[in-house]
Amino acid sequence: MRIEKVLHMMEAIIRDMDDADREAVIDLIWQLNRFEAKLSHDRATDRVAAVACLKVNDAKIREHGGRHLVALRDGVVAAYACGGVVEGDPYIKPEWRRYGYIFELVVAEGQRGSGLGSALVCELEYYFQSMELKSIGIGVLARNVRAAELYDRLGYKPHAVERVKWLDGTS
């Protein structure tokens, strides 16, 4: 990592999300949904969908254990991530079946490329390592090249590819 990024990251605080962060996190998810709508026509772009996404993340954390994390820059929530432990299907070898999964990662538009996303992923990696898990998964839209490049830099490799056919003929 370049020294400029290290110095820039020192200005950020990574911590568990608390109730006071919820509105800011909803705004970040809303921002992500609008961004992803440019990459995939199936994304809902209203704030109601963002509220529902955070509720789903809450349920995943309750069900699987895990953490909601925020990154603060200048006292403002500038990024959010959450992840938990999931069980793979029976065709996976038992020793590999339990793994960490990053359910959500979003960085405020003006903070992308600042290292906040990497810092949140690293914090979740430490969490999963402390649970002695052997792997971590994260999803990415095929057209989100910037996110895929970040995950590549962090050591994440394509493993399973999900294909979609839109029955209404859209692409």
Q: Show me where the domains of the chain are located.
A: 3-153
Q: Would you call 27 exposed, middle or buried from its count of C-beta atoms within 10 A (0-12, 13-18, 19+)?
A: middle
Residue 157 CA, distance from chain mean position: 16
Residue 72's region, left for phi above 0, alpha for psi from -120 to 50, else beta, is beta
CA distances from 60 to 68, 82, 97, 112, 118 (A): 10, 9, 18, 26, 22
Q: Please report the sign of the dihedral spanned by the C-alpha atoms of residue 118, residue 124, residue 127, residue 129.
A: negative
Report residue 2's pLDDT band, with 50, 70 and 90 as the boundaries: very low
pLDDT tens per residue across span 99-141: 999 999 999 999 988 899 999 999 999 999 999 999 999 998 8
pLDDT at 91 over 50: yes
SS3 48: helix
Task: Identify the H or E element spanning 14.
Answer: strand 12-16
- Model pLDDT, residue 97: 93
Query: Do 29 and 81 contact (CB within 8 A), yes or no?
Result: no
Q: Please report the sign of the dihedral spanned by the C-alpha atoms of residue 69, residue 133, residue 98, residue 153.
A: positive
What secondary structure does DSSP assign to 89-142, as a single string? -TTS-HHHHEEEEEEEEEE-GGGTTSSHHHHHHHHHHHHHHHTT-S-EEE---T
- Model pLDDT, residue 1: 41
In the chain, the amino acid numbered 9 is M
Mean pLDDT value of segment 77-98: 94
Q: What is the dihedral of CA 130, 138, 73, 127, to 10 degrees?
A: -10
- The fold for domain 3-153 equals Aminopeptidase (3.40.630)
